[in-house]
Structure 1
Amino acid sequence: MSTTTASTATASIREEVLAGPHGDLRVRVYRPGSGAPAAGLVWAHGGAFMHGDLDMPEADHVARVLAAGGVAVVSVDYALAPAFDHHAVLADDGLEKGLARMLAATDGARFPVASQELAFAFAWAVDADLGVPAGGWSLGGASAGGNLAAGVALRLRDAAAGDTDAAPVPPSSTARTVPRSVVLAYPVAHHELPDPWPELATKIAALPPDRSYPPAAVRAMNDHYLGHERGPDSPYAFPAGHDLRGLPPTLIVTSDHDALRSSGEAYAAELAVAGTDVMVVREDDTLHGHLNQPDDPGCARSLARISAWLTSDVLVGTTHEPPA
């Protein structure tokens, strides 16, 4: 494991390269500039499973703002699927040929690699002596990272219940810890997007083509992440529709004008039916990916909500009965 360190007025920042389950795994650790952290968050950026890095605002800006508010953040540079400009590929070739081109690519990592890496990073953070007690760590992500966080929450639940193969951990880990809470920003929890309500459908219809995310295109991107067209073989890939009992309290922040909002809202309903404490907030006047737009007022509002959730003793509920 290697380490590099830097600091700012509001955060101490260092990078580590972990011996992850699939090779080197880079994480960037943000700690409050002064005082002990009030909470911890292991975070995964978005990018359609094939784009994004630790420097994008959805990773770096999010972590800096949360660290300034007292949260220790471990931002995870998980392995990406083969990279494509999916808008261009799907537009030029059509969905069937475009997906065939995407599936033929081999220069990247597909499920379950990123999912297992995020689970490993969470276990590392719990044991890393970052000033946060084991029970104070939450897990979260945005968009595709929200998918990863939701799936890893299932992994960690199952590992804590005795399925030691569900979530890889560092050799030094002595305990399997369930997150205090889960934070999902405009996640894609479904392999196929649920139908939108008329209000959302009207907003989607008004979006430009490169922001509309039609269901068939989302299905193609999800298949590209899986590496096949059979759909998910594991609940850890797309957790909607599976057994969600015993999961930690969950905050879901959705974007207002966003086709993926139908997934976040439907997943929240499933969590509630499963007995999980859940809070859902639709951020008004935002597009998908608004945490990647630091100048968007909706970004600041959402980060304030997330910070309050993570550091509050009253907003977050409890993890209830695990599945039998």
Structure 2
Amino acid sequence: MAPTSTATLEGPVTRTLTAARSMLVTRGRWRFPALGYTLRGLKTLPAPVREPVFDLMRQRVGAALPEFGDALRFMEAAQGVPDSRLWQRRLLLDRPHLGGVSTREIVRDEGGRLRARLYLPPQDAPPPTAALVWAHGGAFLMGDLEAPEAHRVAIETAAAGIPVLSVDYRWCLNGVHYPLPLDDLLTAWHWAVDHADEMGVEASRLHLGGASAGACLAASAILRLRDSGGPMPASQVLAYPVLEGTLPPASPEVAAVLEPLQLLTDDLIGGMFANWAGDASWDDPYVSPGLGDPAGLPPTFVLTCGHDSLRRSSEPYAAKLAAAGVPVWHEVLPTATHAPFARLGEDDGEYALWRLRTWVAGGPAGMGA
């Protein structure tokens, strides 16, 4: 049978996605799990059909679910939203030098769940001087190793000579809550420390970071490591992080920027944290690391998006770290919306990737240069 082209599928899929958007804004909670079960069925299609369908979904479905509870019902029924690998193939065609990066799947369950992918620089690259353990975002509900916020960050960083361990932690679906995703990230961190030689660096040169919800997990993991006397990272990288369930109020200047925009609402963020926390208290600093004591934390790079509700979380945290004497490099992308790492080929995403690599390779001195 001839392979199915994206052009062939575009008409029917576009009509399906248009109907899906209409379904999502129609009242009736049953519609969200119904659409989720439909998506679960699509995942059983043969790869030549499935991949173009999900590629179109990634590009065209931009409407946010109206309430977090609806998003949760949809995701639990769908059992996760997959990401097509077609964009990865296009990325390699556009940037063939990325083909020199080698990858290896790390899957172990002895002593803790571990799902991660190791990205190593091209063989002709200079010996690395630093490596990164990275956690993608996704509201604790979605995202995986194939998503741009995971794969693109990892492969672009490794191509620049910095090995990356990209971590796939459990979603907060169907009864999974704190601390399980955090435990997954800590398991991956300890694997990296124990196998730093496989990444080509000393364990003291490992950095730990993440984006959005992944940044929350990274910040929480580092608090746990500090409090338990565990091996600390050389630095933490927090890209557009959500660090607490109740965001501090915006300053008048920030409010003037955010209020006209349609952004993540406080109710959505509160629902996300309630689901992430489970039975734990939101005041627990391992749940809401923005509330934790910053003493003794490693140097920190905080990347903030100017057109993002979560700047109400990242900006106060950067100031709190600096007040405690933690070396901080806080950078604001003034007009960027949430998740530039997920936007392929756009200027803010390219810039953010460059700054991440610059920080891991050279720290504050490199950022200033």
> After TM superposition, is the score higher than 0.5?
yes
Counterparts in 2 of 1:262 and 1:61: CA distance versus 1, 3 Å? same
Given the alignment, which residue of 91, 103, 106 partners 1:13?
103
Name the SS of the counterpart of 1:213 in structure 2. coil
Q: Is the 8 A contact 1:48 1:143 kept in 2?
A: yes
What residue in structure 2 maps to residue 85 of structure 1?
A: none
The alignment yields a C-alpha RMSD, in angstroms, of 1.9
Name the SS of the counterpart of 1:28 in structure 2. strand
| Percent pairwise identity | 40
Shift of 1:77: 0.4
Shift of 1:10: 3.3
Q: Is the 8 A contact 1:284 1:298 kept in 2?
A: no
What residue in structure 1 maps to residue 27 of structure 2?
A: none
Q: Is the 8 A contact 1:18 1:27 kept in 2?
A: no
Amino acid at match of 2:272: M
Q: Is the 8 A contact 1:119 1:152 kept in 2?
A: yes
Matched, 1:28 2:117: yes
Matched, 1:110 2:206: no
Shift of 1:274: 1.7
Amino acid at match of 1:315: A
What residue in structure 1 maps to residue 260 of structure 2?
A: 206
TM-score of the superposition, structure 2-length normalised? 0.69
Higher relative contact order (Cα pairs below 8 Å, separated by 6+ residues): 1
TM-score of the superposition, structure 1-length normalised? 0.78
What residue in structure 1 maps to residue 273 of structure 2?
A: 222
1:266-304: CA deviation from partner (whole Å, max 9, x where unpaired): 111111122211110011321011111122211111111
Given the alignment, which residue of 297, 321, 325 partners 1:275?
325
What is the alpha-carbon distance in structure 2 between the residues aligned to residue 269 and residue 62 of structure 1?
26
Amino acid at match of 1:189: L
Q: Which has the higher strand share?
A: 1
What residue ranges of structure 2 are gaps of 5+ in the alignment?
A: 1-96
Given the alignment, which residue of 302, 305, 311 partners 1:261?
311
What is the alpha-carbon distance in structure 2 between the residues aligned to residue 10 and residue 284 of structure 1?
34
Amino acid at match of 2:176: A
Matched, 1:61 2:111: no
Shift of 1:38: 2.6
What is the alpha-carbon distance in structure 1 between the residues aligned to residue 284 and residue 312 of structure 2?
21
Shift of 1:316: 7.5
Shift of 1:197: 2.0
Shift of 1:204: 2.3
Q: Is the 8 A contact 2:139 2:272 kept in 1?
A: yes
Q: Is the 8 A contact 2:304 2:311 kept in 1?
A: yes
Given the alignment, which residue of 227, 232, 237 partners 1:158?
227
Counterparts in 2 of 1:205 and 1:20: CA distance versus 1, 3 Å? farther
What is the alpha-carbon distance in structure 2 between the residues aligned to residue 216 and residue 239 of structure 1?
19
Q: Is the 8 A contact 1:143 1:185 kept in 2?
A: yes
Q: Is the 8 A contact 1:79 1:108 kept in 2?
A: no
Matched, 1:307 2:357: yes
What residue in structure 2 maps to residue 142 of structure 1?
A: 211
What residue in structure 2 maps to residue 168 of structure 1?
A: none
Could you say which structure has the larger radius of gyration? Answer: 2
Spell out the pairing of 1:160-199 with structure 2 (5 A cutoff).
160=229, 176-199=230-253
Q: Is the 8 A contact 1:146 1:186 kept in 2?
A: yes
1:50-86: CA deviation from partner (whole Å, max 9, x where unpaired): 111011100000111111111110000001101xxxx
What is the alpha-carbon distance in structure 2 between the residues aligned to residue 63 and residue 203 of structure 1?
32
What is the alpha-carbon distance in structure 2 between the residues aligned to residue 233 and residue 312 of structure 1?
34
What is the alpha-carbon distance in structure 1 between the residues aligned to residue 121 and residue 112 of structure 2?
30
Given the alignment, which residue of 181, 185, 188 partners 1:121?
188
